Structure 1
Amino acid sequence: MSDPSPVFGGETPSRPRGSLRTAVVWEVLKDALERRGKAAGTDVLDVLDTGGGTGNFAVPVARLGHRVTVVDPSPNALFALERRADEAGVADRVHGVQGDIHGLFDVVERAGFDAVLCHGVLEYVDDPADGVRTVSDALRPAGALSLLAAGLGGAVLARALAGHFTEARQALTDPAGRWGEGDPVPRRFTAEQLTDLVGDAGLRVGAVHGVRVFADLVPGGLVDTQPGALEALLRLETAAAELPAFHAVATQLHVLGEKRP
């Protein structure tokens, strides 16, 4: 998830404010990797991060002891990834490759990974179903897929709360969930759409979480100035993430899939 690119933008789990955006995904991912490692009888997994950019998730995953391959189209992002991995002392466990999901198996091995991260990618591919099938094909049997994509409901709510009611209605009715020509996100999803994509790719659908249910709606100054507010908001995000009622208003949706043995 590359910082300079709007396509694969994100926050590192280690930043205090960034934790509001990534805490739920990070905890689910760590648990999934631990379960996968126990099932495979190893402490070191092969992990693929598609669109992983500067390593916001790849470097922390490597810190857990895993080998991570990052595929990203941006040479600048991959250069930053190399620098970040070196500074974190995990350069020997992080490998960056220039490419994208369309030609994934031109640069990585099919069925070569215990886990695949596909974060902030489906919004930008021409065919999301084909994209999910591709990352599924990169998994070994019983491998885990971490899928993160923009949520429709969160965009509708955000536009409405900003007073842009026409744009909110446009996003609600648009097939791609876009609020207008100036919308920087080409496509958004509902939880049902994402779980259908994962299931149709032959994966078993595991946990579904709403991400950034409240974080994008709470004024930053409120979190920064009130003692304990960040920790309380993190706990609230975690508690709401698993409740289906809040999936409909989350800025992002996270789906965990598992390839059948």
Structure 2
Amino acid sequence: MVDRRRRSVRTVLVAEALRVALAGSGRTDPTAGLDIVDLGGGTGGFAVPLAAEGHRVTVVDPSPDALASLERRAADEGVSDLVRGVQGDATELAALTGEGKADALLCHGVLEVVDDPAQALQAMASVLRPGGVLSLLVSQRNAVVLARALAGHLTEAHAALYDPDGRWGPNDPMPRRFDEAGVCALLDDAGLFVHTIHGVRTFADLVPAAFVDSEPGATEALAELERAASQHPVFRAIAPQLHILATR
């Protein structure tokens, strides 16, 4: 239960910002639904709820097991006709989904693991129609520096601060992390215009789980605090993740 509550706080803010962006995506008939690509969307944590709102979602993921789970999840929610799973990755994106056809593209937790982030963003831009929305969620360097230092791993914190990929050492499971300036520069090079940046999980990872579980109203209060801090520059700078909304 605790993990579900904490996860809901982490994901609901991203979902809220995405919903606002989709509502203002420029389509003349908002009731018709949008064509959305979810790169690395796995089992459909975002895709299925979006389909339930009437959008057509193509999930591109390299894992056949994840796509099988996506199919079952979509069937359980009665949206199989609106969700399509395609096996592949960022390098094949344009060939799999077509160029200039997507109203929105989700890339959540994927840019950290692709071979070439700049090339991947170019591919994402190519499948978006003019005015299309990119929802990008990436891990941030500053947060892991702070986390390693607070855990007493000062050498690793120092390494993450200066490593080009924001890694704290050879055993770091994350291939790369970003800072705000660096990821915005990559988006600009891909021809994508950044209009909103949120910090995600600024407090959700710090507040004790026992408190969230036992204190009445704690989950709602934590969500409100996250909302308030998400665009505050100081707190955004130490958030574990950045949620960036950009348009082509």
TM-score by length of 1: 0.91
CA displacement at 1:202 relative to structure 2: 0.9
Question: 1:163-242 maps to which residues of 2 (within 5 A)?
Answer: 163-242=152-231
Name the counterpart of 2:28: 40
CA displacement at 1:219 relative to structure 2: 2.0
2:102 partner letter: F
3-state DSSP of counterpart to 2:43: coil
- Alpha-carbon contact 1:120-1:148 (below 8 Å) kept: yes
> Structure 1 pair 42/233, CA: closer, same or farther in 2 (3 Å)?
closer
* Deviation by residue 1:196-241 (Cα, 9 ceiling, x = unmatched): 1111111211100111111112221121111111111111011000
Name the counterpart of 2:38: 49
Q: Which structure carries more relative contact order (alpha carbon 8 Å, separation 6+)?
A: 2
CA displacement at 1:39 relative to structure 2: 3.6
User: How many matched pairs?
Assistant: 245
- Alpha-carbon contact 2:138-2:241 (below 8 Å) kept: yes
Separation (CA, whole Å) in 2 of partners of 1:46 and 1:40 = 14
2:110 partner letter: V
CA displacement at 1:160 relative to structure 2: 1.4
Q: Gapped runs of 5+ residues in structure 1?
A: 1-10
Of all paired residues, the percent bearing the same amino acid is: 55
3-state DSSP of counterpart to 1:16: helix
Name the counterpart of 2:9: 20
- Alpha-carbon contact 2:193-2:246 (below 8 Å) kept: yes
CA RMSD of aligned residues (A): 1.3
Alignment of 1:101 with 2:101, yes or no, is no
Separation (CA, whole Å) in 1 of partners of 2:246 and 2:147 = 28
- Alpha-carbon contact 2:6-2:204 (below 8 Å) kept: no
3-state DSSP of counterpart to 1:49: strand
Alignment of 1:138 with 2:127, yes or no, is yes
Separation (CA, whole Å) in 2 of partners of 1:242 and 1:168 = 25
TM-score by length of 2: 0.95
Alignment of 1:149 with 2:150, yes or no, is no
Q: 4+ residue runs of structure 1 moved beyond 6 angstroms?
A: none
Question: 1:61-72 maps to which residues of 2 (within 5 A)?
Answer: 61-72=50-61
Name the counterpart of 1:3: none
